[in-house]
Chains A and B, each alone.
Chain A
């Protein structure tokens, strides 16, 4: 019988071990071996850990400059958010007349309440930042080609879930900042022809933010999105395992070859991850000790603050709204961008550049050119629109002159840039698409920075509003 050794084991255990020892062994079966090798206590956790991780990993993927530990940081922040969020759930009441007061009570009366809220808030912002950097890292190391194609899509789903977690959480304090930010963000939907207004009413549970909105956002923020996030996270991890872990880093000269030396996951990978997790934790707690999460006056539907801004991660879109007709700023451009991001892993590339930062030496130069060009062009375009075109146009925005025309110009610049840079560098498709991606991402980041820091009262351009 194959299983007879188990029966043997049980018999011998029953003779030699007492009840407590047998219970211990049932919980930590890995410690049976550790008992013989007292020097290695880590074996106790091995059984559990090696269900998530492979026994060994390629030693080259341990290098920090390959993936920058961004995935680990994101996971740490997600768990920090889950824990602090669970605690906050005990003190928060999701009703327009009580929500704000419950936050004030948390800040002023509950021991460590303010700290808890600060940790939650800064982790949430940190998570967005880390997830964005992670997304850039995966793109620039080519870690989205087969067999990782679908994991890129799962990653985008996770990114979306993180953005909406942040957005739904933004309303909950029910102060002037959150109330008006959610008002203008959801009102942007009104400009989408057909479904927009209906969608807005469904999200708000009515015509304007009120009791139904707060309840919707609370349920989505504290139940639906965390569940989705954990589901997609597990899916994400599983696909990494299925793809044999991270991409193998290499320099542009190296060919795709054998992985090289393997290192034991325990302790080489795990200790690095734990160290990184502790650094993230310490950083967040330090920030939370010195910077309080913002809280303005209680929401007043009759008084809009000046200026009213969307949450910072939507400021790129709000800034676009200043320059394009709403149909283009809120529908055409975002849909094209999302479609572009989804199609990235399914494009037929000329060569495989998996594991090489920025494809090649040429790719690095091209990405730099794209970044510099995009920075200058975006700033110039914003200034031009602000000081030249706005002064001549009066009256409501026009679909042709405020929509199609600037959109066509932007499209022309992007296409022109793609061909020009591809020809002048005699680049392959990988490098040219990377340059285009860099162009668009830089533009979006610049627009976000302008909207967040260089727009003051009445959304006029100002020199620094921080």
Chain B
């Protein structure tokens, strides 16, 4: 079958189709850009999301301190290491309180439990509590709340230790 030469009419029809598709794609892209979730404002005044938690010695080993403004918990493990954990339950995003009597995080919504390292002690939570990065400079603790780190389990490299003095 010989290829028919492209007529003016069919050329213009095809051109319309292409232009229409491009215009439609543009509109879709605009809608997406319009509705794209925007980054929330950082929690700190200078906007970098770093919260100064205080000197290392303020925190006893084996205790958990809540930081309401930063929405995280700072746990000092028995061996002296630090973990900063999100207060959001990994099951369905309820806020988990630290129950010091039982030495556990117990979610009021659906009874998930986490130990002091954030490790799941009782389901239905599927993952250990999310982490924020902890840095220690001149014996002062800093927690970076700008970036959340997800983890499935606890492992030793997640813990930050103060320098031995």
Contact = CB atoms under 8 A, between A and B. Distances in A.
A314 B126 CA distance: 21
Contacts of A303: 95
A304 B96 CA distance: 8
Interface in A166-214: 180, 183-184, 186-188, 190-191, 201-202, 204-208, 210, 212
Given A184-B109, A395-B120, A301 B37 contact: no
Contact of B37 (A206, A305, A306, A396): A206
B120 A184 contact: no
Contacts of B125: 396
A326 interface: yes
Given A180-B94, A301-B95, A397-B126, 18 more contacts: A183-B94, A184-B93, A184-B109, A191-B126, A204-B37, A206-B40, A302-B71, A304-B89, A304-B94, A305-B108, A305-B109, A308-B92, A308-B110, A393-B123, A394-B123, A396-B152, A458-B110, A460-B111
A304 B111 contact: no
Interface of B: 35-40, 68, 71, 87-89, 91-96, 107-111, 120, 122-127, 152
Contacts of A321: 124
Contact of A207 (B36, B40, B68, B94): B40
B127 A307 contact: no
B92 A188 contact: yes
A459 B111 contact: yes
A276 interface: no
Contacts of B120: 395-396
B93 A208 contact: yes
A72 interface: no
B37 A205 contact: yes
A322 interface: yes
Contacts of A396: 120, 123, 125-127, 152
26 contacts: A183-B94, A187-B92, A187-B93, A190-B93, A204-B37, A205-B35, A206-B37, A206-B38, A208-B88, A210-B40, A212-B38, A301-B95, A302-B68, A304-B89, A304-B96, A304-B107, A304-B109, A308-B94, A308-B108, A308-B110, A321-B124, A326-B126, A396-B123, A396-B126, A397-B124, A458-B108
Interface string A298-320: 00011111111000000000000
A304 B37 contact: no
Interface in A217-255: none
B126 A307 contact: no
A386 to B, nearest CB: 12
A304 B126 contact: no
A125 to B, nearest CB: 23
- What is the interface of chain B mostly: helix, strand, loop, or mixed? loop
B95 A202 contact: no
B109 A306 contact: yes
B109 to A, nearest CB: 4
Interface of A: 180, 183-184, 186-188, 190-191, 201-202, 204-208, 210, 212, 301-308, 321-322, 326, 393-397, 458-460
Nearest to B124: A397
Nearest to B153: A396
Contacts of A458: 108, 110-111
A180 B92 CA distance: 10
Nearest to B127: A396
A396 B124 CA distance: 6
B37 to A, nearest CB: 5
Contacts of A306: 108-109
A208 to B, nearest CB: 7
Contacts of A459: 109-111
Nearest to B108: A306
B92 A322 contact: no
A208 B39 CA distance: 11
Task: Specify which of A306, A322, A396 lies most central, judged by the most chain B CB atoms within 10 Å of its CB.
Answer: A396
A401 to B, nearest CB: 12
B68 to A, nearest CB: 6
